[in-house]
Amino acid sequence: MGNEYDLSCEEGVLLALDEGEVRAACDLVLAEQCVERPCMVSVSAVGERRIRELNAEWRGVDRATDVISLECERPDDPSLAPGEPCELGDIVLAPDYIARQAASFGTTAADETRLLLVHGLLHLLGHDHLDDASATRMEDLEEALLALLPGDGTVDRVVLTRHRGEDDA
């Protein structure tokens, strides 16, 4: 049994990656992170109003953002039976926000979406960027994973993690 993905787009919202690219990126991250348990991940593309609502509700930050990760279970949870799939969680992306952000960083919307998909999935796996050391580790991991994915090559090392220090806000 492999990983399962529930992919959805809010009406009128288009993601810069197709379903196959999303699945392949998630499968790669899970494999590279040595996750052997089958996982279920929800990936949603929403408008800026909805991402702002979620950001306010879950993080207490009343503004739009690029990605939000909502964790459910961890693959190493001892309460899961052997072979039982892990409901890893939800990754919510805001494509219009991401496209504007990509332009400001000189990347493409597709590459920025790949970065944020990897970033969101790493959060579901327990990685974070609460301080400079953890942010650097997460950036290094993002860079290594992005190098394994097809892409436009526009994401520059200097600007990998857009969220350094964000948790302090």
Q: Which residue is it, tokens 């493409």?
A: 108
85-101: pLDDT as tens digits: 999 999 999 999 999 99
Q: What is the pTM of this model?
A: 0.90
Question: What is the model's pLDDT at position 168?
Answer: 42
- Angle formed by the axes of helices 109-124 and 19-32, to 10°? 40
- Write out the two tokens for 125: 């796996």
Can you tell me the distance from the alpha carbon of 160 to that of 143, in angstroms, rounded to the nearest whole number? Answer: 7
Give the model confidence (pLDDT) of 9-32 as tens digits: 999 999 999 999 999 999 999 999
Domains of the chain: 4-168 (3.40.390.30)
pLDDT in tens, the chain (169 residues): 689 999 999 999 999 999 999 999 999 999 999 999 999 999 999 999 999 999 999 999 999 999 999 999 999 998 999 889 999 999 999 999 999 999 988 889 999 999 999 999 999 999 988 888 888 898 889 989 998 988 777 676 545 556 655 554 4
> Quick one: pLDDT at residue 107?
87
Q: Is 35 in contact with 75 (CB distance < 8 Å)?
A: yes
pLDDT at 83: 84
Helix or strand run (H / E) with residue 88 = strand 86-93
